[in-house]
Structure 1
């Protein structure tokens, strides 16, 4: 992998490890594909997955990360559409407050997105600040070639 790709991976992992309350972080391309993800060991990405004929819950980390990318992409699209309808200008950040968690989404560059899944009691000002730092550090280097490299690296790792 290139130096830029390794640097972005390190920044994302550092984001998850250093920012209190963060469960998972995903970088998603403008077409909704997961480019990069990082999560804590106890990230609550659990889905109900049929287990050989049984319908009980099962840990599905890979599918959960892909689901986070799909949710981030869909939410960004929905809020961008709402902003157009309301003549509100470009969406800067989307925040979803749930009973047991938070989801924050912001644009990186060329339609790429940064999504953060955090605890319900997190300090969203701290997370928002670190999201802005991440975007400032990677926005200018997240070129089409680097996005392709990250997508390929993610595909070969899974």
Structure 2
């Protein structure tokens, strides 16, 4: 059942949110995911993250992405594809989508990093195919509500 606010969202916004939710639900080892715009703002969120947690994570992902892009330029290694951070209890994968936007994927400790990395790259391609400057603006605006 959808609420009235969801009916006001465009098909593109609903598609991005659906892709993120489905990715978290269907990909073994994935705990949560968010979408972040090139300016570091939250554009999509999957349960069970709260809005406050997601905004903090978006800021961290934006900083990590900026550092990785700088390293890529300095080392002449081509475009950024993915940043992987390993913790004692899981991983944070940041996958470039397009035009500076990216996905942040949080995994459980026992996840298959190869599987999650491949699945997140496929998700980044699917979301990237949908993103336009207008859709990114609408996604940001939909997060304000």
Find the aligned partners of 1:141 and 1:75 in 2 and give their Cα distance.
24
Give 1:62 deviation, angstroms.
2.5
The answer to whether the 8 Å contact 2:102/2:124 transfers is no
SS in structure 2 opposite 1:139? Answer: helix
Q: Provide the TM-score with structure 2 as the length reference.
A: 0.88
Find the aligned partners of 1:137 and 1:79 in 2 and give their Cα distance.
22
Which residue number in structure 2 is paired with residue 107 of structure 1? Answer: 96
* Structure 2 runs not aligned, ≥5 long: 1-8
Which residue number in structure 1 is paired with residue 18 of structure 2? Answer: 10
Which residue number in structure 2 is paired with residue 98 of structure 1? Answer: 87
Task: Specify which structure has the higher proportion of helix.
Answer: 2
Note if 1:21 corresponds to 2:29. Answer: yes
Q: Provide the TM-score with structure 1 as the length reference.
A: 0.81
Deviates more, 1:129-138 or 1:90-99: 129-138
Note if 1:127 corresponds to 2:116. Answer: yes
Give 1:81 deviation, angstroms.
0.9
Encode CA deviations 1:119-142: one digit per residue, 9 max, x unaligned.
122111111121122122121220
The answer to whether the 8 Å contact 1:97/1:120 transfers is no
Note if 1:118 corresponds to 2:107. Answer: yes
Note if 1:37 corresponds to 2:45. Answer: yes
Encode CA deviations 1:46-98: one digit per residue, 9 max, x unaligned.
xxxxxxxxxxxxxxx32211111111111111111112222222221110111
Give 1:7 deviation, angstroms.
1.1
Find the aligned partners of 1:37 and 1:62 in 2 and give their Cα distance.
8
Cα RMSD (Å) = 1.3
